[in-house]
Chains A and B, each alone.
Chain A
Amino acid sequence: MILNIKQDHNRFRDIVKGKIRSNFKKFISNSDMIGKREKEFVTIPMPQIEIPHFQYGPKSSGGVGQGEGDQGSPVQGEPQDGAGQAGNAPGEHMLEVELAFEELAEILGQELQLPRIEPRGSKQIRALKTKYTGLHNVGPDSLRHFKTTYKEALKRQISSGTYNPDDPRVIPVRKDMRYRSYKYAEKPESNAVIMYMMDVSGSMGDEQKEIVRLETFWIHTWLKSQYKEIETRFIIHDAAAREVDEETFFRTRESGGTLISSAYNLAQKIIDEDYPISEWNIYPFHFSDGDNWSGEDTRYCLELLKERMLPLVNMFCYGQVESKYGSGQFIKDLEKDFNQDERVILSRIDSRDAIYQSIKDFLGKGK
């Protein structure tokens, strides 16, 4: 049965893709489907076209809720402004379900049309695994393969004329016995390490960090679904770089100048020490507002990338977060030098809404 709605649905898809009525594009936003993972709500992007109405501004009105909590304690969950759309579907029960990590990744992959990653290591990295797929004529009784043994015995009895169809008894002898045995199978296995670097100098505000946090969450979710083993390392830097744990990575707020090379140096050092290129897929991600201290340091960074880091990594991703002090120069320098280089992916993230596009920039190439 073909549903009538398919026509409307195609029409909607065409509008979203900008095929028809392209002046409508400005109303398209990524509204979010809300899922829940552990305690955190995560949102899944859904294209949505909003028809403007006279309506109240967001977050100005508040509302009425039910539950525990004293005055001033935060309201859990995602409160809705106003009374919410009560209307169109009478008696619609909605339920919220927890999502597993893999499911989230799958949804993300579908929505953003991310290609599956071809691990670079698959050629070099092999692990031997034993599999019980073969047969052998010696072995312990516990591994006896009954069916084959029976067939062998039957074959022997028929060919030697001792098989009597009226009394179909088959008695195996020693040399009919077959046993399961193992074979070595080569199994490609790949490992990946993601190195997150973040600029925590004075110009990176809370909102910028939140953007980085959301984006790394999704990147991590996606890469995790693509590799069996995944390691993460976190580096923060202002004028000097240091390695930290995840918690610190998102919480720290330093101040002071910015030397991007310090982070790249440290990342390089970690790669050299811990992650031999033959065994690891390496993904460095760097987030900054792009205000480097000096042109000289920028030149040094570019050289470092070109000469040492790029040959080792799958790709190098740089996301420049727009801050209230404007957007820095660094991304332009990278653009100039690596314009043709497929290994370097650059993305500008000017607001939360740009996160999905940015993820698509980074992961859309399937490397």
Chain B
Amino acid sequence: MNISPELAKIQQGIEKHAKDYGLDFYETIFEMVDYDQMNEIAAYGGFPTRYPHWRFGMEYERLAKSYAYGLSKIYEMVINNNPCYAYLLESNELVDQKIVMAHVYGHCDFFKNNQFFSHTNRKMMDEMANHASRVRRYIDRFGQDVVEEFIDRCLSLENLIDRHSTAIKRRRDSLADETQLRLLKTERGYMDSFINPKDFVDEQQKKLDLDKTKSQKFPNEPELDVLWFLMEFAPLNAWQRDVLGIIREEAYYYSPQGMTKIMNEGWASYWHSKLMTEKILKDSEVVDYADHHSGTVATQPGKLNPYKLGIELFKDIEDRWNKGKFGKEYDDCTDYREKKNWNKNVGLGRQKIFEVRRNYNDVTFIDAFLTEDFCIENKMFVYVFNRRTGQYEVNTRAFPEIKQKLLFQLTNWGQPIIKVVDGNYENRGELLLEHLYEGVDLQPNYMSETMKNVSVLWGRPVALKTVMEGQGKIYRWDGTEMKEQNYDAPNAQQVVSAFATEGK
């Protein structure tokens, strides 16, 4: 449903102010929905149509119930598309709608300009509808149970993509099939040793030989995009390959939203507060606005609120770059008082945060801008689970640990990193996966169920190299039973002891 003329007028105002501040976004279309439609759209991940699958129904039930019981409420949704679509909840107060609109323009700007979104399909609305109709066609042909079961297996692997690659890989990389070194042409023979010097040629030859031995391996390099590998090399039917492709495509579409959660929410919150407090808010709305805003950025000890962390970091960056609190001179200064009152009036803050929103993701954002002062000011700490007392406890407030922990949580979206290392393991056409062990064990029962799913797709036994309780293990699922075998993982103990300080 279209928004009311009154809201449309407000929207125009907000849009104009946002543009004046330098925000840059695709055309944004607001639609008014009731709570049930909102729950549906949210369950579908923001889209009006998705392929039929029970998990959307499960999500819908959760949202519908927690709304009915008054446990939660979705204020707004916005999807990364050109044009951007955003949904407003019918029952919201006018001031809520204003905040939501301002917030949405922050998101839209982020979607359009952050480089990690640059590969996403801006016509995803259409793409999702295409996916839906393709899957429906397969269901008509092969039966719902068959297709659904296959989708379940694919979904079990949906996190096995190469999140940090800036673009989705569309086809096989062409392998270096050159066997002969190409030399520069020389018309005069005596020049040859100058144009193609011997030691350079030798070096290149060596590299080529190395590539050749590599290309005998399969895959040449460990492959992070496990889904791509399966699509290319697993013995699948055409429809299965297509479904797997759909799941992968959607995983890549959603991936940057996971990678920039803190920044994206922080950016949108920064702009809704800027737009509201400086331009839009009427006197009578101040209290309601403050209530809503403080709810959005409220913190709980055990949870890190991405809205809060994000907005505070952006404000901190703006402040530091306004006052010139960066660079060698500032870093080298050892006088606490001088540092605290540092102000060179360079006024680069606004410019800097726009630059940050273009070039960073959560990992690099935290890595570059989380400072010790910021951690102290925001009372951050690391908590761990204490097995003895059976509860989570504050472990430390030391800056390096906080930063390390946070980066670890954010890297690869808090998911373990799994690579294909050998597609012809033990020369029997089996698949060997490797878990890049970083001190935290995989959940064993989930691991074995997931391996079974990989094995069904691969059609042959699947093995996984990982570390469990300080011991290197290779698990192998041969279709009927799971066998395990120890191997010497040189860094297993080391990594564990590095994390032992965290109360493992």
Please name the 3 residue pairs, one residue from A and one from B, whose CB atoms are nearest each other, closest first: A79-B302, A8-B57, A83-B414
* CB–CB B414/A82 < 8 A: yes
Q: Check B450 for interface membership: any CB of A closer than 8 A.
A: yes
Do the beta carbons of A52 and B395 come within 8 Å of each other?
no
From residue B175, how far is it (CB to closest CB) to chain A in Å? Answer: 28
Known: A64-B381, A91-B77. A5 touches B392 (CB 8 A): no
Taken together as a complex, chains A and B put the C-alpha atoms of A71 and B398 apart, in Å, by: 11
C-alpha spacing A44/B395, complex, angstroms: 30
> What is the minimal beta-carbon distance from B387 to any residue of chain A, in angstroms?
8
Per-residue interface assignment for chain A, residues 85 to 102, with 1 indicating a CB less than 8 Å from any chain B CB and 0 otherwise: 011111111111101000
A interface list, Cβ under 8 A from B: 1, 3-5, 7-13, 15, 20-21, 33-35, 44, 46, 48-49, 51-80, 82-84, 86-97, 99, 103, 107
Q: Is the CB of A48 within 8 A of B254?
A: no
Instruction: Give B41-67 as 1s and 0s: 1 = Cβ < 8 Å from A's Cβ atoms.
Output: 011111011001111111111100110
The reply to whether B80 and A90 contact each other, CB–CB distance below 8 Å, is yes
Q: B402 interface residue, CB < 8 Å from A?
A: yes
Cα-based distance from A97 to B66 in the complex (angstroms) = 10
B406 contacts A95, C-beta separation under 8 Å: no
- Select from chain A the residue with minimum beta-carbon distance to B394: A69
Cβ of B258 and Cβ of A57 under 8 Å apart?
no
Residue of A21, A54, A68, A89 with most chain B CB atoms under a 10 A cut-off: A54
B295 touches A95 (CB 8 A): yes
Residues of B contacting A107 in the complex (Cβ-Cβ under 8 angstroms): 69
Chain A residues in 8 Å Cβ range of B442: 54-57
B104 at the interface (CB under 8 A from A): yes
The minimal Cβ–Cβ distance linking A42 to chain B, given in whole angstroms, is: 11
19 contacts between A and B (CB under 8 A): A3-B36, A4-B48, A52-B156, A52-B449, A53-B415, A57-B442, A63-B405, A64-B383, A73-B393, A76-B302, A79-B302, A79-B383, A82-B409, A83-B409, A86-B257, A87-B254, A87-B258, A95-B73, A107-B69
B394 touches A90 (CB 8 A): no
Cβ B65 vs Cβ A33 within 8 A = yes
Write out the residue numbers on chain B whose beta carbons fall within 8 Å of the beta carbon of A78: 302
Q: Mark B72-96, 1 if CB is under 8 A from A, else 0.
A: 1111111110000000000000000
| In the complex with contacts A20-B145, A64-B304, A67-B379, A93-B73 CB distance below 8 A | yes
Q: How far is the CA of A88 from the CA of B447 in the complex (A)?
A: 23
In the bound complex, residues from chain A placing their C-beta under 8 Å from that of B295 are 93, 95
Query: A37 to nearest B CB, angstroms?
Result: 12
Contacts A9-B57, A90-B107; A62 near B73 (Cβ below 8 A): no
CA distance A92 to B76 in the complex (A): 6
Residues of A close to B393: CB separation below 8 A: 72-75
B325 on the A face (CB < 8 A):
no
What 1/0 mask marks residues of chain B from 394 to 428 whose CB sits below 8 Å from any chain A CB? 11110000100110111001111010000000000
B316 to chain A, nearest CB (A): 14
**Residues of chain A contacted by B104 (CB below 8 angstroms):** 91
**Are A64 and B406 also in contact (CB < 8 A) when A75-B392, A95-B295 are?**
yes
Q: How far is the CA of A66 from the CA of B502 in the complex (A)?
A: 17
Majority SS at the chain A contact face: loop
Assuming the contacts A55-B443, A62-B382, asked whether A83 and B71 have C-beta atoms less than 8 A apart, the reply is: no
Q: Which residue of chain A is the closest to B383 with respect to CB atoms?
A: A75
Across-interface contacts of B381 in A (CB, < 8 A): 64-67, 69
Contact A91 B446 (CB under 8 A): no
The residue in chain B whose Cβ has the minimal distance to the Cβ of A59 is B385
* B504 in the interface (beta carbon within 8 A): yes
Known: A12-B54, A59-B385. A53 touches B159 (CB 8 A): yes
Contact residues of B between 79 and 132, Cβ < 8 Å to A: 79-80, 103-104, 107
Contacts of A63 in B (CB 8 A): 302, 304, 382-383, 405, 409
What residue in chain A is nearest B226 (Cβ atoms)? A54
Please report the C-alpha to C-alpha distance between residue A86 and residue B260 in the assembled complex, in whole angstroms: 9
A8 with B60: in contact, given A3-B36, A55-B446, A66-B301 (CB under 8 Å)?
Answer: yes
- Chain B residues closer than 8 Å to A65, beta-carbon distance: 300-304, 380-383, 394
A56 and B443 contacting across the interface, CB-CB below 8 Å:
yes
Assess the B394–A52 pair: CB atoms within 8 A.
Answer: no
Residues of A within 8 A of B444 (CB): 57
Contact of A75 with B145 at beta-carbon distance under 8 Å, contacts A15-B54, A52-B449, A91-B78 already known: no
Q: Which residues of A contact B192 (CB under 8 A)?
A: none
| A236 shortest CB reach to chain B, Å | 22
Q: Which of A35, A69, A91, A99 has the most CB of B within 10 A?
A: A91
Across the interface, do A49 and B55 meet the contact criterion of CB distance under 8 Å? Answer: yes
Residues of chain B with a CB closer than 8 A to A9's CB:
57, 60-61
- State the Cβ distance, B441 to closest chain A Cβ, in Å: 5
Note all chain B residues with C-beta closer than 8 A to A57: 440-444
Give complex CA distance A67, B397 in Å. Answer: 11
Does B40 touch A at the CB level, under 8 Å?
Answer: yes
Chain A residues within 8 Å of B152, by CB: 51
Least Cβ–Cβ distance between A258 and chain B, in angstroms: 26
Minimum CB–CB distance from A226 to chain B (whole Å) comes to 19
Q: How close is A87's CB to chain B, nearest CB, in angstroms?
A: 4
User: Does any Cβ of A come within 8 Å of B384's Cβ?
Assistant: yes
Measured CA separation A158–B79 after assembly (Å): 75
The reply on B367 being an interface residue by CB < 8 A is no
Question: Is B378 located at the chain interface by the 8 A CB criterion?
Answer: yes
Query: Cβ of B440 and Cβ of A77 under 8 Å apart?
Result: no
Interface residue? B324 (CB, 8 A): no
CB-CB contacts below 8 Å: B137-162 with A: 145, 148-149, 152, 155-160
Give the residue of A4, A52, A80, A95 whose beta carbon is less than 8 angstroms from that of B302: A80
* CA gap between A87 and B159 in the complex, in Å: 11
Interface centre among A34, A51, A78, A92, by most chain B C-beta atoms within 10 angstroms, is A51
* CB closest residue in chain B, given A15: B54
> In whole Å, how far is B59's beta carbon from the nearest beta carbon of chain A?
8
Q: Assess A56 versus B74: contact at CB under 8 Å? Given A9-B61, A63-B405.
A: no
Chain B residue nearest to A50 (CB atoms) is B446
Which of A44, A61, A92 lies in contact with B77, CB distance below 8 A?
A92
A70 to B: closest C-beta gap in Å: 7
Known: A71-B396, A77-B301. 10 other contacts (CB 8 A): A5-B40, A52-B449, A53-B450, A62-B502, A63-B302, A75-B383, A76-B300, A77-B302, A90-B79, A91-B104
